[in-house]
Amino acid sequence: MIKLGIDFGTSRIGLALQIEGVEIPLYSIDHAGYRKSLLEILKEKRIETVVVGLPISMSGRYSESTMRAVSFAEKVKKMFPGNVLLVDETLTTESARKMSVEIGIEFAKVRDVFSAMQILRNESSGKAVKWEVHNNRSVCRNLPELPLGSRVLFFKPKSGLIKGIDSLDKMPGVFVEDPQVFLSFFRKGLKPVNLIDDIDFSTYDIIVIACGEALDGMVHLNSRGLQVIECSWLNG
């Protein structure tokens, strides 16, 4: 298995390979014109999986940097038929710094590339949180017409493609951990959250979940009179 690790930056993009579990530093490329450089690498190195580092704030919340990395990963997926993964890159910079000190190389010169190597290690460790990037997402087509004034929370939606969401007269809340789905709601002008502690369930009347999705640990919601509606996310 040959993987390409990417440490995304708005100026420079660090690259590294992982071949049969061994990380190999490549080099950094300029953000400007990165498509051409990436296409050459993907073809020349016969890449099977691309792993993009996902910056997450120390609070655990998604930030503007998170959204920029997700947007970049979506662009990579459009040019690459293989798997594209987003992997939590928390503390990879510090790990890369430690590695540069251990081998006696100035950190500033290898920061991006060593960070890309750490991102690959995180992904292969099996401990890091990761998400697969998709070109096409399923669509919820069976959202029922809801009463005017309803305060609606979409809980772990499979995508931002929900037929009828524009008819809601109040801005719905969204709880979603998948960063690509988070970005899709953000682009719609909504204010999604990715930490459940940021949700005040008492402010909602209706919660919409995917069919078959369990409200783990949320049995207490029924006692608050919160109506639960299931929505089917189907392909196409």
Q: Which pLDDT band, with edges at 50, 70 and 90, does 158 fall under? A: very high
pLDDT at 220: 52
Please state the pTM of the whole predicted model: 0.90
The answer on 197 and 179 residing in a single domain is yes
- pLDDT > 60? residue 219: no
The answer on 160 and 72 residing in a single domain is no
pLDDT at 90: 77
CB contact set of 10 (below 8 Å; sequence gap of 6+): 31, 68
pLDDT at 126: 82
Residue 85 and residue 83: Cα distance in Å, rounded? 6
Residue 41: domain span: 2-132
The answer on 165 and 216 residing in a single domain is yes
Mean pLDDT (the chain, rounded): 89
pLDDT at 186: 97
The answer on 190 and 109 residing in a single domain is no
Residue 143 and residue 231: Cα distance in Å, rounded? 6
Residue predicted with more confidence, 89 or 34: 34
> Which of residues 79, 103, 132 is at a domain's end?
132
Q: Parallel, antiparallel, or unpaired for β 22-30 and 2-7?
A: unpaired
CATH of the domain at 221: 3.40.50.720
pLDDT at 223: 46
The answer on 214 and 121 residing in a single domain is no
Q: Which pLDDT band, with edges at 50, 70 and 90, does 197 fall under? A: very high
**Residues 199-233 as b or e (16 or more Cβ within 10 Å = b):** bebeebbbbbbbeeeeeeeeeebeeeebeeeebeb
> Which of residues 132, 167, 197 is at a domain's end?
132
Cβ proximity of 6 and 26 under 8 Å: no
Query: What is the count of structural domains for the chain?
Result: 2
Judged by DSSP in three states, 169 sits in: coil
- pLDDT > 80? residue 201: yes
The answer on 125 and 143 residing in a single domain is no
Residue 17's identity, in one-letter code, is L
> Which of residues 132, 165, 194 is at a domain's end?
132
CATH of the domain at 12: 3.30.420.140
